Amino acid sequence: MGMHTGAHIVWDWNGTLFHDNEAIITATNAAFAELGLEPITLERYRELYCVPVPRFYERLMGRLPTGDEWEVMDAAFHRHYTEHRPRCGLTEGAAELLAGWGSAGRSQSLLSMYGHDELVPLVRGFGIEPHFLRVDGRTGPSGGSKAEHMVRHLAALTGVAPGRTVVIGDAADDAVAALHAGARAVLYTGGSHSRAGLESVGVPVVDTLAEAVAEAERLAS
């Protein structure tokens, strides 16, 4: 990617660069069906979604799922998500934005809570891996926060200062993780949260990835 000018973006994957809302809601409803819960709409999902994910289920069930229930629902979610994922593609304009940010001499990386071994070939398959200094997916159990993963991710990037880093994601947890690691955040409304939910975090909220990149450039300058 050549010389870097200091400003760095850490991109989220699901719901941000990867437009997988349809697969997410289908898999979520499949997980609910395992416990006899009624399906929900994408709008309802955006109103209630949070991490850790068992808390999201608690909002729907009125109680936390038991350990056994969580395992059943988590397995069902990932099974159905994998089945429907091939129908999804990159968010409109994402590839061009990645290329433009890199061609300006700025650096970027990708951190996702999607499983690392599945994430890397998926990113590679879209031909965008060369844009990133590093691609990290989740290792270990699913359902938790991104905060500690963000700290490790930034620590592994040579020459990237958290204070010149902006995280772009679609979830409140992306902003929490950014602030935990000493970075800033911009949240995008096209993914897992409602605008109202994102605005409650207190960071900039935008409706397109192009706006997110412009805001990141301003914040990191």
**Per-residue pLDDT for 152 more than 80?**
yes
Helix and strand totals (H; E) in the chain: 10, 8
Measured CA to CA, the distance from residue 108 to residue 111 in angstroms comes to 10
What is the DSSP secondary structure assignment for residue 14, as one 8-state letter?
Answer: B
What's the pLDDT at 3? 41
Span 21-38, average pLDDT: 94
Percent of the chain topping pLDDT 70 = 98
**Per-residue pLDDT for 4 more than 60?**
no
What is the DSSP secondary structure assignment for residue 115, as one 8-state letter?
Answer: E
What's the pLDDT at 42? 94
What's the pLDDT at 163? 94
Percent of the chain topping pLDDT 90 = 87
Instruction: Spell out a b/e string for 124-137, using b for 16 or more CB atoms within 10 Å of the CB, else e.
Output: eeeebeebbbbbbb
- Residue (of 204, 208, 152, 217) closest to 16 by Cα position: 208
Average pLDDT of every residue of the chain: 94
| Single pTM value for the model | 0.92
- Check the CA dihedral 44-50-53-54 and report its sign: negative
What's the pLDDT at 156? 97
**Per-residue pLDDT for 34 more than 70?**
yes
Measured CA to CA, the distance from residue 214 to residue 188 in angstroms comes to 12
What's the pLDDT at 5? 54
What's the pLDDT at 51? 85
β-pairing verdict for 8-11 and 165-169: parallel
pLDDT digit string, tens, across residues 78-113? 999 999 999 999 999 999 999 999 999 999 999 999
Span 153-182, average pLDDT: 96
> What residues have CB less than 8 Å from 18, skipping those under 6 apart?
88, 89, 90, 91, 122
Do 195 and 19 contact (CB within 8 A), yes or no? no
Measured CA to CA, the distance from residue 140 to residue 135 in angstroms comes to 16
